């Protein structure tokens, strides 16, 4: 949620002509990460949870790509990009660790 919040704050600075372009794409991908984690957890089924965690990973990579593009086309400062990429890397590691843990737990059942 903190990453999604940061993305919303950063995209407020984007030009208005990006409202339906990068702004929309970044916000959608950022919101998708915690939403899929929550949805998968609510299913109370390890297989479904794992699938939703993988979808979250995909959304996270999509977010990183949109952010890199935003910096490359000049609507985001390099310093802001670095801050978000650090958060993305940390969250990605947490997701991978959780997925591994759940896979190991499921394999021992």
**What would the pLDDT profile of 26-81 be if each residue is shown by its tens digit?**
999 999 999 999 999 998 899 999 999 999 999 999 999 999 999 999 999 999 99
Residue range(s) defining the domain that contains residue 14? 2-107
Whether the predicted pLDDT of 105 surpasses 90 = no
Q: Which residues contact 24 (CB under 8 A, 6 or more apart)?
A: none
User: How many angstroms separate the CA atoms of 43 and 72, rounded?
Assistant: 39
pLDDT at residue 53, rounded to an integer? 98
Q: Given pLDDT bands bounded at 50, 70 and 90, which one contains residue 3?
A: very high
12: domain CATH number is 1.20.1440.60
User: What is the total count of domains within the chain?
Assistant: 1
């Amino acid at each position: 949620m903190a990453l999604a919040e940061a993305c919303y704050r950063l995209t407020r600075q984007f030009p208005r002509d990006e409202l339906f372009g990068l702004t929309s794409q970044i916000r959608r991908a950022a919101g998708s990460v915690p939403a899929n984690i929550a949805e998968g957890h609510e299913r109370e089924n390890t297989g479904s949870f794992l699938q939703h965690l993988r979808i979250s990973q995909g959304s996270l990579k999509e977010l990183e790509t949109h952010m890199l593009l935003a910096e490359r086309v000049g609507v985001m400062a390099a310093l802001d990009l670095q801050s978000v990429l650090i958060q993305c890397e940390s969250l990605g590691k947490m997701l991978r660790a959780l997925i591994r843990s759940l896979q190991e737990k499921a394999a021992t059942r």
